Amino acid sequence: MTKRERQAERRKFWTELIARHKQSGKSVEAFCQENGVGSPLFYTWRKRLAEKGQSMGFALVETPAIRQQRGEPVELILSSGDRLHISPGADAATLRLVLGILREAR
């Protein structure tokens, strides 16, 4: 089994365990004790999976052709409230870099 496969199995295990806890209505400590896992590890995985599940939200923005012809920037408003003004002809690699940095900062 490769490292990636082991990571996927662990992620699946913890995702299912956390979902079962939500349905159980029990405290984390009681649930973890019944299932033979440590509550600190449970909290760590719950946080990790919550952070991983957060995605940067985008909305489709349509700009009038006239605006594009005038060379006006497009404003991208992220779900975090951050705003990006993207000038016509902006370098795609730079835009990907900026978005990646914003994503990591969360």
Q: How confident is the model at residue 68 (pLDDT cuts 50, 70, 90)?
A: low
Element (H, E) at 67: helix 65-69
Sign of the Cα torsion 75, 76, 78, 82 reads negative
User: Which pLDDT value is given to residue 33?
Assistant: 95
Shared-domain flag, residues 31 and 8:
yes
Number of domains composing the chain: 2
Give residues with Cβ within 8 angstroms of 61, minimum separation 6: 74, 75, 76
In a domain, 97, yes or no: yes
In a domain, 60, yes or no: no
Q: Of the ranges 23-32, 67-76, 81-90, which is most confident?
A: 23-32
Q: For residue 79, give its domain range.
A: 65-104
User: Which pLDDT value is given to residue 44?
Assistant: 93
Domain boundary among 32, 53, 74: 53
Shared-domain flag, residues 38 and 80:
no
pLDDT, mean of residues 28-49: 93
| Cβ atoms < 10 Å from Cβ of 42 | 19
pTM of the model: 0.49
